[in-house]
């Protein structure tokens, strides 16, 4: 069964159904989108059940010739890393649709268009993780910008056009650098046994270290912008502030993961030597991201920007884990990608409900929310605890794995990063105090608590956060072999206990 | 090791209570508090059952474990969700669930008028569950979950009335300062894994002899930082006074009897690390000694009854930490003082709550006075706790504190003399500030506000106080009779069969301690009973009093050294991110734009920027191809 193609076609089919719906039937469009995303989620889970977790080769492989004259194939396949990210994406999609039931209203275009864009985006989210042909990956990587651009520019708030353009420019610049590297790889492959975009063949190319370094940078900068890693991060707060909450979840939760996913799949696989050369620099950027993102989050006045800054800090952890080259760091980073999706989704969706009720995203405009809308307030608090990686919640497992995995090889980096956990307590508890505690701020007296639809949307997210905090084993068992494989491909083994030099 | 399948119920029962009450919402308002109390009591029942089982086994067979499931397993980092109940943790289990249940009972009445009583009980149950996980986890990582879990419960309960901004701030302060300590715990775990390849207690204990002293010292210091955060020890003590914002039962349970003693647990549990790292051990003693004086001095100047008791708690935990830092000879005495303190301090806090209950929530002792006649039971139970903390024979503190003083003197050399003197002096100051509390509250003249109508509290409140008072009277005697506790804990701690030289005979130490206590009481008596007490704190006081009233400047210090620079940095970064980093990028973009605008006829802004980007891309492309061709 062609699982991956099926997964990619299902959202497109849903989009087609919505497109032919009679004009103005917004409810049917929403329902179709919800049903479609639920079907995709179910199909993904069904596919995941058949995944052989001890097999580190690509699975569910499909390959068709697409543009034969250039050796371009429509080639798909997933390893555990891609599988976990596709799972995350397709679980988040129905949550986003249900949570943001009314967020398409007030957009530049129709509600129907909004859901078509969401579904098209879902197809691309699956495709970008599943592509095993570098050219196909690049096409989807760039094409994804289009629906996101329209989702921000057409349905966002505030200076949405400017934010959308900024997002687009940053992404395009990165994408073009990557394209240059890809073409170079293609040209070289021609000289070494035939033109190809197949990632496995490209990874065996012989090239000088200078070439490798330059091409590596082309990829890495593209991914560092996407992730985003300091100092390529400034597009994110603007985009997150302007996008609708649901779009932000997809942007930060899924699209940004393409950056960190790409670092593992492309940077490490295609350029192992260059990756090692740049590791010291990248680790420093990662540590800066962790601390810098946290400080900016502490200073943030706008709740959406705050969440975007916390993500910069979290992506710092992920990047650090990837390049620490230990099994704990690598597994931790991959698990972190999954957990961060849900943690950020919880924060953004609840913040979105707060904002739509209050008509403002300034933290100081809230106040005393706990007494006015307790369920809303406590959900926000729980989401915050997940963001500050409270032990017992899923994000703790991944964050601690990254830290301990980094410590065994790069203790100084890990020590500085660990200070991030104190900063995290501040950047969560400060807004919690301002928005939820204290006397009720005038204008907040009549804010409504969560309704049934909203509770239904957030409940699975919270459940995942709690359950995976205590029982991450099922996921770790899938991730571990892939993580160990990455490390050993790079020629690393975990450092043995040092006994402190005795 | 023996296994027991019922350990998990210790934690699961109160955890289920918390979950039911929080998820059940208002539907559970009517009976939620009863359920929570019953579940806490059941957990105590399971604890008693475990104790009886343990008593029935031979010494070596006493510890039991239970593996719940595989938790985190990556490479060689293998941590199971496992529980361990041994002679040390059973002491804590009974203290937590026993005192915890009494405080549940007390709270039924104390919180009966609170709209959110159900939520209060849910948090209490959450606390009990987390605290049990803390003492039952079989590895540093599972301890960590309980460790931050109690921090969360403490945060929620300190800020229970967080509609008052000061209370909300107090809860945040407690959490953040605790997180500084938690960071220490993180580091300790990382050091353990990197050097010994394990994070379980048993694993680390086994690996200690193969590990360098430098690594163990590092780990020990990090554990000490963790302990200092949780147990309000110098220099991470500043949160405890503010934590009194929480409802008084919380202060009794979390900020006196149980959570704040977690640091003592951590150090005694890690005895194998500290025994092999003398430098870290010495630091433990120093931190304990400083804090015991620090807390005692603050206690002399506080007019808020809860803050006076909080300062006292800090000081008494200083005694425990000091004892734990004395190594194998001290661990058991640290735990003994921890247990007796659990009784008398929790009892006194509940007494303070009872007084506040009768005095319209007034906490200023200068507005109390002569309450003895109006609240006889509270006076009696508080008075027994008072005698216990002073160390008057035969009350509980006499046994536990004297043993610490004696052991401190016996530490040998100058160290012994200094430590012994500090603990003795501390005992004298303790007698002073506690006598002051007694006099200001219960004797002398009425200095009440006009609308005060003090009355004795209902039985649901005084009954737990009475039970704790019984503990304040008898626990010391029972625990030390025939060295009961010392022998009970003996198998866990490595004992050097060295000749224990005695600097001073026990009887001399007791005599000295009682003399110091008598002096402290006498000074307080002269100062507060012989003269009229002003109902407003006098301003013309010594510099020392002024400093002590401000908690010896701890907040000022933290604000000047950490908070203000931190805020400045945060603000600066926030401003420069927009201007410098984004600005640089925009500059580069503009540069590309201007080259793009050279292409005439493309007036549309978007198109122009695309064009600029394509130009940039083309340049990059050419560069890349040039590299390849080269």
Candidate from A234-248, B72-86, B335-349 with smallest mean pLDDT: A234-248
Indicate yes or no: CB of A438 within 8 angstroms of CB of B215: no
Indicate yes or no: CB of A177 within 8 angstroms of CB of B617: yes
Q: Burial level of A5, CB count in 10 A (0-12/13-18/19+)?
A: middle
Q: Which residue has the higher pLDDT, B587 or A497?
A: A497
The pLDDT assigned to A168 comes to: 86
pLDDT, average across residues B118-140: 95
Q: Which chain A residue's Cα is nearest to B208?
A: A499
A60 and A25 Cβ atoms separated by less than 8 Å: no
| First-to-last C-alpha distance (Å) of chain B | 69
| Distance from the B599 Cα atom to the nearest Cα atom in chain A, whole angstroms | 19
Q: B111: which 2 tokens? A: 């919180």
Other beta carbons less than 10 A from residue B314's beta carbon: 26
The pLDDT assigned to B380 comes to: 92
β-partners of residue A72 are: A67
| Distance from the A169 Cα atom to the nearest Cα atom in chain B, whole angstroms | 8
Considering only CB atoms, B190 lies closest to which of A368, A407, A438, namely A407
Q: Residue B534 above 90 pLDDT?
A: no
Indicate yes or no: CB of B574 within 8 angstroms of CB of A414: no
Q: Which chain A residue's Cα is nearest to B144?
A: A391
Task: Indicate the DSSP class of residue B139.
Answer: B
Binned at pLDDT 50, 70 and 90, residue B599 comes out as very low
The pLDDT assigned to B500 comes to: 59
The torsion defined by the Cα of B247, B252, B257 and B258, in degrees rounded to 10, comes to -20
pLDDT, average across residues B58-72: 91
Q: How many domains does chain A have?
A: 1
Q: Residue A157 above 50 pLDDT?
A: yes
**CA gap B252, B239 in Å, rounded:** 16
Write down the mean pLDDT value for chain B: 87
Q: Residues of B with CB below 8 A from A502's CB?
A: 210-212, 215
pLDDT, average across residues B559-587: 78
Residue A72: inside a domain, yes or no? Answer: no
Report field, pTM of the whole predicted structure over 0.90: yes
Q: B601: which 2 tokens? A: 């006829």
**Test the A interface: residue of B72, B143, B185, B581 with most A CBs within 10 Å:** B72
Helical segments of B359-489, H only: 376-390, 396-409, 413-442, 459-480, 484-489
| Distance from the B558 Cα atom to the nearest Cα atom in chain A, whole angstroms | 15
The pLDDT assigned to B371 comes to: 87
Q: Which of A370, A367, A389 is nearest to A379 (CA)?
A: A370
Residues A456-474: tens digit of each pLDDT = 999 999 999 999 999 999 9
**CA gap B482, B399 in Å, rounded:** 12
Classify B3 as helix, strand or coil.
strand
Residue A4: inside a domain, yes or no? Answer: no
The pLDDT assigned to B615 comes to: 58
Q: Residues of B with CB below 8 A from A231's CB?
A: 581, 584
Residues A281-294: tens digit of each pLDDT = 999 999 999 999 99
Q: A251: which 2 tokens? A: 């942007």
The pLDDT assigned to B574 comes to: 79
Task: For A76, list phi and psi in degrees, rounded to 5.
Answer: -125, 160
H or E element in which residue A66 lies: strand A59-67
Binned at pLDDT 50, 70 and 90, residue B621 comes out as low
Residues A83-132: tens digit of each pLDDT = 999 999 999 999 999 998 888 887 888 888 999 999 999 999 999 999 99
CA distances from A234 to A309, B191, B614, B616 (A): 10, 36, 21, 20
Q: Residue B622 above 80 pLDDT?
A: no
ipTM of the modeled complex: 0.93
A99 and A342 Cβ atoms separated by less than 8 Å: no
| Distance from the B603 Cα atom to the nearest Cα atom in chain A, whole angstroms | 16
Binned at pLDDT 50, 70 and 90, residue B256 comes out as confident
The pLDDT assigned to B588 comes to: 66
β-partners of residue A148 are: none
Q: Residue B454 above 90 pLDDT?
A: no
Binned at pLDDT 50, 70 and 90, residue B609 comes out as low
The pLDDT assigned to B419 comes to: 92
Task: For A436, list phi and psi in degrees, rounded to 5.
Answer: -105, -30
Residue A446: inside a domain, yes or no? Answer: yes
**Test the A interface: residue of B140, B191, B194, B605 with most A CBs within 10 Å:** B194
Residue A214: inside a domain, yes or no? Answer: no
The pLDDT assigned to B448 comes to: 84
Residues B261-280: tens digit of each pLDDT = 999 999 999 999 999 999 99
Considering only CB atoms, A184 lies closest to which of B69, B190, B627, namely B627
Report percent pLDDT > 90 for chain B.
Answer: 58
| Distance from the A338 Cα atom to the nearest Cα atom in chain B, whole angstroms | 16
Q: A57: which 2 tokens? A: 């080769």
B396 and B471 Cβ atoms separated by less than 8 Å: yes
Q: Residue A424 above 70 pLDDT?
A: yes
Residues B368-399: tens digit of each pLDDT = 888 888 999 999 999 999 999 998 888 998 99
Binned at pLDDT 50, 70 and 90, residue A158 comes out as confident
The pLDDT assigned to B620 comes to: 62
Q: Residue B619 above 70 pLDDT?
A: no
pLDDT, average across residues B227-236: 92
Residue A341: inside a domain, yes or no? Answer: yes
Q: Residue B603 above 70 pLDDT?
A: no
Classify A195 as helix, strand or coil.
coil
Q: Residues of B with CB below 8 A from A421's CB?
A: 179, 182-183, 186
- Beta-carbon contacts of B599 under 8 Å, excluding residues fewer than 6 positions away, are B608, B611
Indicate yes or no: CB of B75 within 8 angstroms of CB of A234: no
Q: Residue B580 above 70 pLDDT?
A: yes
Residues A215-246: tens digit of each pLDDT = 999 999 999 999 888 888 888 888 888 888 88
Q: Residues of B with CB below 8 A from A419's CB?
A: 183
Indicate yes or no: CB of B621 within 8 angstroms of CB of A494: no
B454 and B376 Cβ atoms separated by less than 8 Å: no
Q: Residues of A with CB below 8 A from B613's CB?
A: 169, 172-173, 176
Q: A32: which 2 tokens? A: 């179709």
- Beta-carbon contacts of A428 under 8 Å, excluding residues fewer than 6 positions away, are A310, A384, A385, A387, A388
Residue A227: inside a domain, yes or no? Answer: no
Q: Residue B573 above 70 pLDDT?
A: yes
Candidate from A379-393, B98-112, B283-297, B449-463 with smallest mean pLDDT: B449-463
Considering only CB atoms, A422 lies closest to which of B76, B179, B213, namely B179
The pLDDT assigned to A321 comes to: 96
| Distance from the A40 Cα atom to the nearest Cα atom in chain B, whole angstroms | 30
Task: For A78, list phi and psi in degrees, rounded to 5.
Answer: -130, 145
Write down the mean pLDDT value for chain A: 91
Considering only CB atoms, A403 lies closest to which of B172, B186, B620, namely B186
pLDDT, average across residues B86-103: 94
Considering only CB atoms, A471 lies closest to which of B69, B215, B570, namely B69
The pLDDT assigned to B381 comes to: 94
Residues A13-69: tens digit of each pLDDT = 999 999 998 887 888 999 999 999 999 999 999 999 999 988 989 999 999 988 888
Q: Residues of B with CB below 8 A from A332's CB?
A: 74
Q: Could you list the residue range(s) of the whole structural domain that residue A419 is in?
A: 271-495
Classify A59 as helix, strand or coil.
strand
Q: Which chain B residue's Cα is nearest to A399?
A: B186
CA distances from A345 to A397, A474, B419, B535 (A): 18, 22, 54, 55
Considering only CB atoms, A502 lies closest to which of B212, B570, B609, namely B212
Indicate yes or no: CB of B194 within 8 angstroms of CB of A439: no
Q: Could you tell me what percentage of chain B is helix, strand and coil, using 3-state DSSP and rounding each to the nearest 5?
A: 75, 5, 20
Q: A303: which 2 tokens? A: 């709740």
**CA gap B242, B594 in Å, rounded:** 59
The pLDDT assigned to B519 comes to: 92
The pLDDT assigned to A398 comes to: 95
Other beta carbons less than 10 A from residue B293's beta carbon: 19
Binned at pLDDT 50, 70 and 90, residue A192 comes out as confident
Q: Residue B582 above 90 pLDDT?
A: no
Q: A299: which 2 tokens? A: 């200073």
pLDDT, average across residues B161-176: 92
Q: Residue B617 above 70 pLDDT?
A: no
The pLDDT assigned to B536 comes to: 79
Q: Residues of A with CB below 8 A from B614's CB?
A: 176
**CA gap A187, A342 in Å, rounded:** 41
B378 and B135 Cβ atoms separated by less than 8 Å: no
Indicate yes or no: CB of B69 within 8 angstroms of CB of A473: yes
The pLDDT assigned to B626 comes to: 55
Q: Which chain B residue's Cα is nearest to A225?
A: B585
B417 and B517 Cβ atoms separated by less than 8 Å: no
Q: Residue B630 above 60 pLDDT?
A: no
Binned at pLDDT 50, 70 and 90, residue A12 comes out as very high
Q: Residues of A with CB below 8 A from B172's CB?
A: 429-430, 432-433
Q: Residue B629 above 60 pLDDT?
A: no
Q: Residues of B with CB below 8 A from A410's CB?
A: none
């Amino acid at each position: 069964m062609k699982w991956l193609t099926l997964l990619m076609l299902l959202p497109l089919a849903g989009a087609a159904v919505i497109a032919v719906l009679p004009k103005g039937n917004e409810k049917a469009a929403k329902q179709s989108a919800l049903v479609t995303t639920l079907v995709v989620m179910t199909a993904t889970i069904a596919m995941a059940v058949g995944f052989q977790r001890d097999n580190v080769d690509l699975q569910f492989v499909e390959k068709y010739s697409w543009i034969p004259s250039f050796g371009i194939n429509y080639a798909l396949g997933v390893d555990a890393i891609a599988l976990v990210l596709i799972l995350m994406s397709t679980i988040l999609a129905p949550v986003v649709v249900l949570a943001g039931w009314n967020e398409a209203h007030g957009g530049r275009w129709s509600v129907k268009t909004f859901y078509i864009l969401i579904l098209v985006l879902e197809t691309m989210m699956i495709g970008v993780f599943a592509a095993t042909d570098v050219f196909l990956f690049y096409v989807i990587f760039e094409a994804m910008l289009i629906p996101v651009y329209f989702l921000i520019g057409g349905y966002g708030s505030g200076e949405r056009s400017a934010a959308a353009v900024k997002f687009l420019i940053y992404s395009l610049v990165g994408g073009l650098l990557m394209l240059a590297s890809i073409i170079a790889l293609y040209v070289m492959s021609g000289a070494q046994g035939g033109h190809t975009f197949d990632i496995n063949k490209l990874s065996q190319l012989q090239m000088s270290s200078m070439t490798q370094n330059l091409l590596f940078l082309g990829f890495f900068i593209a991914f560092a912008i996407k992730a985003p890693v300091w100092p390529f991060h400034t597009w994110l707060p603007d985009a997150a502030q302007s996008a609708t909450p649901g779009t932000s979840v997809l942007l930060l939760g899924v699209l940004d993961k393409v950056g960190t996913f790409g670092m593992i799949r492309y940077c490490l696989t295609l350029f192992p030597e260059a990756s090692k050369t740049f590791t010291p620099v990248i680790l420093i950027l990662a540590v800066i991201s962790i601390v810098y993102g946290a400080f900016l989050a502490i200073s943030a006045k706008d709740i959406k920007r705050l969440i975007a800054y916390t993500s910069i800090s979290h992506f710092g952890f992920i990047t650090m884990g990837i390049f620490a080259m230990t099994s704990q760091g690598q597994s931790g980073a991959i698990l972190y990608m999954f957990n961060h999706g849900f943690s950020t989704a919880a924060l953004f969706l609840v913040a979105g409900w707060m904002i739509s009720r209050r008509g403002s995203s300034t933290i100081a405009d809230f106040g005393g929310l706990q007494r006015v809308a307790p369920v809303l307030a406590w959900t926000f608090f729980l989401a915050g605890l997940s963001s500050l990686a409270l032990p017992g919640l899923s994000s703790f497992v991944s964050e601690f794995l990254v830290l301990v995995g980094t410590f065994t090889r790069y203790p100084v980096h890990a020590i500085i990063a660990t200070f991030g956990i104190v900063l995290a307590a501040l950047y969560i508890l400060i807004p919690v105090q301002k928005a939820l505690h204290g006397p009720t701020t005038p204008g907040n007296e009549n804010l409504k608590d969560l309704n049934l639809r909203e509770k239904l949307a957030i409940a699975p997210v919270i459940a995942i956060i709690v359950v995976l905090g205590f029982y991450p084993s099922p996921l770790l068992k899938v991730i571990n072999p892939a993580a160990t494989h990455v490390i050993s491909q790079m020629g690393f083994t975990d450092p043995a206990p040092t006994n402190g030099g005795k | 090791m023996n296994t027991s399948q019922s350990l998990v119920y210790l934690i699961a029962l109160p955890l289920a209570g918390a979950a039911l009450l929080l998820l059940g919402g208002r539907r559970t308002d009517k009976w939620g508090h009863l359920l929570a109390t019953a579940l806490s009591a059941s957990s105590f029942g399971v604890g008693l059952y475990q104790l009886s089982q343990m008593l029935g086994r031979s010494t070596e067979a006493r510890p039991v474990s239970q593996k719940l499931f595989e938790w985190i397993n990556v490479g060689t980092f293998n941590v199971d969700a496992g529980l361990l109940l041994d002679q040390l943790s059973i002491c804590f289990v009974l203290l937590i669930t026993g005192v915890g249940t009494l405080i549940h009972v007390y709270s039924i009445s104390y919180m009966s008028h609170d709209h959110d009583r159900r939520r209060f009980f849910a948090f209490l149950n959450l606390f009990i569950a987390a605290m049990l996980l803390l003492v039952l986890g079989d590895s540093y990582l599972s301890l960590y979950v309980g460790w931050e879990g109690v921090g969360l419960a403490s945060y929620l309960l300190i800020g229970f009335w967080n509609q008052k901004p000061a209370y909300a701030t107090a809860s945040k302060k407690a959490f953040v300062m605790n997180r500084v300590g938690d960071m220490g715990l993180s580091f300790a775990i990382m050091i353990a894994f990197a050097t010994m390849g394990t994070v379980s207690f048993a694993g680390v204990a086994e690996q200690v002899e193969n590990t360098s002293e430098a690594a163990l010292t590092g780990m020990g210091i990090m554990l000490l930082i963790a302990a200092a955060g949780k147990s309000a020890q110098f220099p991470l003590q500043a949160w405890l006074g503010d934590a009194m914002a929480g409802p008084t039962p919380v202060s009794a349970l979390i900020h006196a009897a149980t959570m704040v003693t977690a640091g003592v647990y951590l150090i005694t549990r890690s005895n194998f690390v500290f025994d092999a790292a003398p430098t870290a051990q010495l630091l433990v003693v120093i931190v304990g000694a400083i804090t015991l004086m620090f807390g005692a001095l603050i206690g002399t100047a506080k007019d808020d009854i809860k803050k006076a008791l909080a300062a006292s708690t800090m000081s008494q935990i200083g005694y425990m930490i000091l004892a734990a830092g004395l190594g194998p000879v001290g661990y058991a005495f640290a735990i003994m003082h921890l247990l007796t303190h659990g009784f008398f301090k929790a009892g006194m806090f509940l007494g303070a709550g009872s007084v506040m209950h009768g005095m319209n929530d007034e906490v200023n002792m200068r507005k109390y006075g002569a309450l003895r006649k109006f609240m006889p039971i509270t006076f009696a139970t508080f008075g027994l706790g008072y005698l216990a903390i002073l160390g008057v024979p035969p009350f509980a503190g006499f046994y536990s504190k004297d043993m610490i003083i004696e052991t401190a003197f016996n530490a040998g050399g100058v160290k012994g003399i200094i430590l012994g003197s500090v603990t003795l002096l501390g005992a004298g100051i303790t007698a002073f500030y506690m006598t002051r509390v007694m006099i200001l509250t219960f004797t002398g003249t009425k200095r009440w506000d006009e609308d005060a109508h003090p009355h004795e509290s209902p039985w649901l409140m005084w009954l737990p106080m009475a039970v704790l008072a019984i503990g304040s009277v008898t626990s010391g005697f029972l625990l030390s009779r025939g060295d009961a506790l010392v022998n009970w804990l003996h198998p866990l701690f490595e004992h050097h069969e060295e000749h224990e030289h005695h600097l001073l005979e026990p009887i001399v130490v007791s005599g000295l301690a009682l003399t110091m206590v008598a002096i402290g009481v006498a000074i307080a008596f002269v100062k507060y009973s012989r003269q009229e007490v002003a109902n407003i704190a006098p301003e013309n006081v010594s510099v020392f009093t002024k400093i002590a009233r401000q908690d010896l400047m701890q907040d000022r210090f933290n604000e000047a050294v950490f908070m203000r620079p931190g805020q400045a940095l945060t603000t600066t970064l926030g401003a420069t991110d927009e201007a410098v980093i984004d600005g640089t990028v925009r500059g580069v973009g503009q540069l590309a734009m201007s080259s793009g605008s050279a292409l005439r006829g493309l007036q549309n802004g978007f198109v122009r920027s695309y064009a600029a980007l394509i130009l940039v891309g083309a340049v990059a492309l050419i560069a890349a191809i040039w590299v390849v061709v080269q």
